[in-house]
Structure 1
Amino acid sequence: MVDRHVKLKLESINRTYAQGAGELRILQGADLEILSGEIVALVAPSGAGKSTLLHVSGLLERADSGSVTICDVPTDDLSDRERTLVRRQHVGYIYQFHHLLPEFNATENVMMPQLIAGQADRVAKARGEELLSMMGLKDRGTHRPAQLSGGEQQRVAIARALANSPGLILADEPTGNLDPETSSVVFDLLADSIRNHDAAGLIATHNHDIAKMADRVLTLKDGKLVPFTF
């Protein structure tokens, strides 16, 4: 039996925002564990807190209270710099919009997070070419984003998210701009990549067909994570 590790653990997460003279409570005691090789889909209406949950999970913002552990690293008492290092080492992000750098080609875009982490150019390029090949883009490495289709751009974004072999992949509507057929292809590639790299995935989506392809589907109710029923 494969030994599966907890890649993301949220305990009693609370997050409130000021709203006029009052406050807006988004997360109220949210708990979550995701194991290696597991993909969890998060389905909830706009404004329910999906993006907030992803941002807290990926250390892009701090919870008001509660505990976040990523790949066995407790993060609650870390400085901003230390949080950045954990994020860089252990977390890969994929957004609805690919956010590829337009002046660089596909291979260079996948190389970028590796170079920031201190990897040598030669090694980063080889890794970039390997990931693009895995995404079915072996012959598109020298193309800039504007020369790629929407599906190809998002596959490059997935490759970039995997570049530093993160243990946790966070995706916010990763197929939101794609047609149904392309969405399915892109999600399959994302899911296979997460499982093949012994990572874990938390994917926020409005697409129920995509959500059904995950191992578990959750929603936010009264600020807590609960199973979602289709």
Structure 2
Amino acid sequence: MSDVLLDLKDVRQTYGDGQGAVHVLNGADLTVNRGEIVALIAPSGAGKSTLLHICGLLERPTGGDVDIDGERTAKLADRQRTLLRRHLIGYVYQFHHLLPEFSALENVTMPQLIAGESQRDGDRRSRELLDAMGIGHRTTHRPAELSGGEQQRVAIARAAANRPSLILADEPTGNLDPATSDTVFSALAELIRQQNAGCIIATHNHDLARKADRIVTITDGRIQPATL
């Protein structure tokens, strides 16, 4: 098994045609290894969200190759891309997007049921994840009864529920205070190590980015190493 989990080669993304075309990515190359956290920092409008959407198979690039876990995705049909997203990719966003009428446990179990897991096994996996996040005592609480940091830790547990190979996090601590941000990042990092997954975390938080294994940025549509 290769250590390379995500491999982007000469990825381009253009919106519009002719003189009005906007070239967001212009030959972007990036690899992410198993067990690695890559922090992505760049100004607003540089293409961070576009890059994450392409890595998460939510957008098809104009050109280039996106390989995930050895699978060449460029020519896959939409159904195949959906299945890859469901089984290989987990998402954590700035806003937790938890289902308000369900408990923390139910929110984490839901994607497992959709993937065909049994209720019993799904609940057991959910309890393990919530324990790992340090909020096992909050399993029966609904999102409105949880703090912002607790909500994000539930969201991380949900993203990891189906044991994805790749976790994409878009400003996951953007709404949290520094101390809570550190707690949430530590929980995410520990989960990545335990599952030998890979992670791209887009963030404006330079302190958080420094805790990643590697920092990259987007300059003129290309991915470059960055230092802080």
TM beyond 0.5: yes
Corresponding residue for 2:139?
141
Counterpart residue number, 1:10: 8
The one of 20, 23, 31 equivalent to 1:22 is 20
Task: Give the drift of 1:229.
Answer: 2.3
Equivalent residue number for residue 202 of structure 2: 204
- Select which of 105, 111, 127 maps to 1:129: 127
For residue 169 of structure 2, give the secondary structure of its aligned residue in structure 1.
strand
Corresponding residue for 1:103?
A: 101
What is the TM-score with the length of structure 2 in the denominator? 0.98
Alpha-carbon separation, structure 1, partners of 2:17 and 2:123: 47
Aligned match of 1:40: 38
Aligned match for 1:192, one of 182, 190, 193 = 190
Q: CA deviation at 1:195?
A: 1.1
Shift of residue 19, structure 1, vs aligned partner: 7.9
Q: Helix, strand or coil: the match of 2:191?
A: helix
1:7 corresponds to which letter in structure 2?
L
Runs of 4+ in 1 over 3 A off after TM superposition: none
Asked whether the equivalents of residues 4 and 37 of structure 1 are also in contact (C-alpha less than 8 Å), the reply is no
Measured in 2, the distance between the counterparts of 1:223 and 1:176 equals 24
Could you list the runs of 5+ residues in structure 2 that have no partner in the other structure?
none
Give the number of aligned pairs.
228
The equivalent of 1:224 in structure 2 is: 222
What's the offset of the Cα at 1:12?
0.5
Distance 2:93 2:17 in 1: 26
Percent of pairs identical after alignment? 61
Structure 1: give runs of 5+ residues left out of the alignment: none
For 2:9, the aligned partner's letter is: E
Letter in 1 for 2:152: Q
The letter of the residue matching 1:61 is E
CA distance in 1, matches of 2:117, 2:107: 14
Match of 2:172 in 1: 174
Alpha-carbon distance in structure 2 between the residues aligned to 1:153 and 1:20: 44
Distance 2:187 2:5 in 1: 20
CA distance in 1, matches of 2:31, 2:170: 18
Write the mapping of 1:51-90 to structure 2, written as runs, cut at 5 A. 51-90=49-88
2:211 to 198, 213, 224: 213
State the distance in 1 between where 2:119 and 2:149 align.
Answer: 27
Partner SS, residue 16 of structure 2: strand
Structure 1 contact 109–160 (Cα < 8 Å) conserved: yes
What secondary structure is seen at the aligned counterpart in 2 of 1:159?
helix
2:111 and 2:127 map into 1 onto residues whose CA distance is 14
Q: What is the Cα deviation at residue 20 of structure 1?
A: 9.6
CA deviations 1:173-223 (Å, max 9, x no partner) are: 000000000001100110111011100000000000000000000000010
- Counterpart in 1 of 2:112? 114
Q: Does 1:151 align with 2:160?
A: no
Q: Return closer, same or farther for 1:172/1:19 CA change in 2, 3 Å cut-off.
A: farther
Letter in 2 for 1:164: N
